[in-house]
Structure 1
Amino acid sequence: MQITTSRTLQALVVDDDAVARKTVAFALQREDFQCDLATDGEDACRQLDRKHYDLVVTDLRMPNKNGHALTVELLARKPRSVIVVHSCIDVPDLARDLMLRGVDDIVYKPTNYAAFAAKAKGLVLHRQPLLRTDAPDAVEANAPVSDASATAATEQQSGESEVAAEECPPVSVEDIESKRAIAADVLPVSKVALKVFELTRTECAARELGAAIECDAELAKKVLSISNSSFYRPIGKKITELDKAVVQIGLRRIGELTLAAAMLSAITQRKLAWMNAATIWQQCNSAGVAAEHLIKQGSHASIRNDLVLISILNFMGRVVLGSLYPDHYQKMIAQCQQTGESLRELEQNVFPENHAEALLRLRNVWNFPAEICKPMSRILDSYSELSQQPEPLRRRVELVKLSVFVGKLAMSSWHSWDLVEIPPASVLERLRIDAIDRVIEDTNRDTQTIVDTTPNSTTASKRPARRTNSMPTLHYWNRSPAPFDFVARLIDGMDFRIQPADASNLPMAATIVVNCSGLSKARTQQELRRLMETDIVAIVDCDGADELEVDCQVVQLPASYGAIRSVLFKASVKLELA
């Protein structure tokens, strides 16, 4: 059935290339659009102030105001036009950013103009069905659509996201306690895994543990796969017997691994709507591996008991809370995506205790050992808060926090709502970690081997091959006094191409990202003043960063991974469109 419109559709074509402007306009006119033309973003804004358009087609790279800036402005207007980006700039991160912001379509040059115009018309009619003569409530031909009606339609379309981002009602301790009985159903852990874990805390022979593991066929496969990974078996014959696998991995470690594997399998099967189960799988594995390497490098064998388990359980509390309160988490995640806040910040406003403490409240369901309670309860404390804790508690918790951070950093495995909390150099020194770069690389290598040899390893996403030529570029200057540049490693994992720069070799009109973490406010200001004529993104962790006497955009650490990446991506877009 051919669909006709009840009035002439209005389109604005924005492109500094005259041939491209006229070609797009000609194709749209064949689909009943009346077209106006603009040569750049500023010209387009002047015309948009005078007239509403059903469709705006814009290029990205243009003088005066580029297409990305124009698009951001268009998205804020009400009633909003259908927005189609028509460009030769094929950058995956740029496309993702535009689509997440709300752009309706992106079409790359060279173009099939007939199909392009037909699709654009379909987008407009889908957005505004009252313009269709076949719609049940179609208006008379040439009758204008009022701003009030269009605004109401826009608000109706955006209503879902507004509801999703509404504030969550607070949860009481009593409410969490009342759900203790259903916790086992929320995170169904294999009884065999629990038995194995209990056996490893007694004097138990490897043969007895192997026989216990054999009672769960799926668990037995996981243990054999892990024991044959290069992390546990760098050389030698393949292990096919469970008692030998127990010896290879170690009695204490086998208990932690079996319990972790059982929990991870449970959350993978549940597939919480707001959580990427593959990311959690990878984060848990990498945290455990990082803990092993940190313990070895810092000679912390005397306090190693349960550190790997605590590193892994760190993630489970959020899984449990998210399963018990799915509506709360859906709303919090929506708010994180809109505001750039971390999930931890929002959890503090909703729950009477953090997710690690909530898991401990339910620990009797799984019979976790009592000695993990204190370290678990402090796992989300900041490093400055931990400095007030006695030894060895402080050192144990710092090792766990560092394990979780290094695991995510090594695998570039983050949720956008994860909080990025970079460890101070003083903590690495206290923990005797003098080669953190080696820990990161070893964690990356060994986590890959464990994940890749585990059954159902397809659930754990591997990082795709990097296409360096299509990665957005960032000019970067490291002014941090820390011996290792965590910020550069973090940015590299976000798939940006880093171009080292400083005050003396920065190209004109470029944006520079300056790592000032570890510097005082006064020293940060001193460093940034060297770039006074430059567009600056300053990454800082000092107090009073919001009062810096320098004109720059500030990323105050700790911050959410998504917020950091968003700021950096905007900086790279400015460079791409310059």
Structure 2
Amino acid sequence: MMTEKRTALVVDDELPVRALLVRALTDVGFQCIESADGEDAWEQHQRAPFDVVVTDLKMPKMNGHKLCVELLGASTRPIVTVLTAVRHERLNQDLQQRGVDLIRHKPINFRTLARELRGLVDEQSSRRTSLPDADSGDSSGKPRSSASKPRQAKHNVGLLLHQTQMAEELAADISDESTACFATSSSEQLCHVLDRQRIDLLLIENNLGGFMTGLEIVERLNQQLIRPKVVLLSDLDDKTVQQADEIGVEIVAPVNTDRTELIAEVRRILRDTTEQDAFIPPLARHLVKDFGAIPPLPQLVVKLAGYLAMPINEIPLNELADDISTDSQATTDLLHITNCGRSMFEQTTSILQAVNLQGAQNTISQVMSMATMRAQSKVLNQWNEAHRQWYQKRSVIVAAAGSVFADKFEHCSPDTAYILGLVQDVGCLVMANKFGSRYDRIVKRVQEVGRCQLHQLELESFSIHHAHVSAALLQKWNLPQSLVRTVVAHHDVDGEDHLPKSDASYLRVIRMAEAFANSMEMPHPYRNFQLSQFLSRYTDFSHDERMAICGEALQRARHLCEVFEFPVPDELELEDILQRSTVPT
């Protein structure tokens, strides 16, 4: 009945389970190999890749979770199925986000599972385009998640052309060991792809012969907060070129562009792409897309954020002052901050002088922070007083501690860390507005139970956490990808592994600053231990030096609370917080 043989690897340390599953898979046309541990299974797959791998989680040598991560990152990615007796919602969510195709729980009907896997393999084969590796597709024609791909530093390129055969041939020509390229056959399939994985470049034809043009698809992707670099193949009329420029298309090329020239252009763009876009879960993007309560940041703020990525000695002070002068609110904010605490004779009305007094990066962070606080105020007013004070105090403490820790421990920009601290929790406001009393109960529990962590409770309740939503909002505001990447990753266990070196420094800073804020919020051994663990990594500093840095962070938080007119912790509270938050390690 089934003439084409497929290969399957069955991984489980229990012999009876392996035997039953092998029998069922053999009956539906699989050639099966068995393995009793993850390490052996990974070696088997490296020697001769399998179409399907079914693995348990609890095994000797290498557990099933690590095996899944390795398989999902392999150049010859199989269909990955987890078969386990462990029932844990957060674990399931993690596996799904990484791209695992099926998760099934013991006890199970092995024949039913075998038929399901055969169907997946056959459907994948019929849908497979030119993609020779892991991104080819799942059972619905959607390329699998590449959540583990950044570790291989690959570029992902997507194609949507009027002629599918041409797209497949072009994808094959573009694909190499550094670039994964896939062709899609419809706008729906392309959207499914981009909902599940990061993409660096989209090559799309404008005239697709359907209801939507390529430009309309790109515009819709932008609305969904998906913004890869785009090469558009189109007739070069003025209207099309103008529309493409307005929605941020990288290049508009003639439809009849020579294939060699087109491939060279794609490689040039990828070579110049130094940042990988963050992958933000679809639910987080949809929440933000439909959420109008937080207004977009002024265009000035978006421009200022770009300066943060520049070396401090390369920021043009005159241009920076001119930019700020065009925005009356930013001008007022900067002069207010600069003149705060100065005598009447020391005050200034010159923006350029204020920039020189504050310094370029400090000026940028001050103007951005005031604009961010203003953008949040409308939603904050809808929250009850207790939660509003909790959020404001927490944001300021994270920002203050982040700026000090960045300067002292990681030797990176304190101003960038300060901005990250202010915006990394902004997703809380969106979730509070969307989920109402359900979210209020989560916040209340975090305030009352020391071992509870906000992002974990959010994941258990809504399948996303506030950092995902914060990152989506930053994407909506068009802030730099370096900020977006760091925010979206800072609650991921292995987030640091997927980031450039500079971003990883900020990730460590924000994690430590958040632990610092958690410890300040409640005197609990678990929270104190978490903070101590972060601090203990900096072995070049003595305990007393680490305590002094924490004291500096507290004083910085106190100053910011005064600037933003938030409730200020008194000196006794500060002293108590410092003593219990920096125990020796």
After TM superposition, the score normalised by the length of structure 1 is 0.43
Q: Select the structure with the greater relative contact order (CA < 8 A; seq sep ≥ 6).
A: 1
